[in-house]
């Protein structure tokens, strides 16, 4: 357990940050799920719209430190290539 005042403060800050990051991660996953569902249904127009909506959310996750930029780049690349292959 944290004993010093600064360690106690850091513990409080970590809890708040964890909650914010958890909400942000959940929000990003929701956007990704919408893209996945559109791809599964085979609807190219809906998949493109969902991908366009997911892109800024993913990039925001990078700037906020939730995801690494290469991870997001890889996800975007794989999703966009899957959307492109839809007939």
pLDDT computed for residue 9 by the predictor: 95
pLDDT, the chain, mean: 95
Q: Flag whether pLDDT at 29 surpasses 80.
A: yes
User: Nearest CA to 35 among 22, 23, 53?
Assistant: 53
The full set of domain ranges for the chain reads 5-84
pLDDT computed for residue 2 by the predictor: 79
The answer to whether 35 touches 28, Cβ cutoff 8 Å, is no
Write out the CATH class of domain 5-84: mainly alpha
Token pair recorded at residue 1: 């357990």
- What's the predicted TM-score (pTM) here? 0.86
Of the pLDDT bands very low, low, confident and very high (cuts 50, 70, 90), residue 27 is very high
Q: Flag whether pLDDT at 87 surpasses 80.
A: no
Token pair recorded at residue 13: 């800050």
Count the alpha carbons within 13 Å of 51 in the hemisphere toward its beta carbon. 19
Task: Please write the tens of the pLDDT for every residue from 55-80.
Answer: 999 999 999 999 999 999 999 999 99
Mean pLDDT of 32-47: 95
- Sign of the dihedral through C-alpha 36, 34, 62, 19: negative
């Amino acid at each position: 357990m944290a004993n010093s005042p600064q360690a106690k403060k850091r513990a409080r800050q970590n809890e708040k940050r964890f909650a914010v990051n958890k909400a942000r991660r959940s929000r990003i996953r929701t956007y990704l799920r919408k893209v996945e569902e559109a791809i599964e249904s085979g609807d190219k127009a809906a998949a493109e719209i969902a991908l366009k909506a997911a892109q800024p959310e993913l990039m925001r996750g990078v700037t906020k430190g939730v995801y690494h930029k290469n991870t997001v780049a890889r996800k975007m690349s794989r999703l966009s290539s899957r959307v492109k292959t839809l007939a």
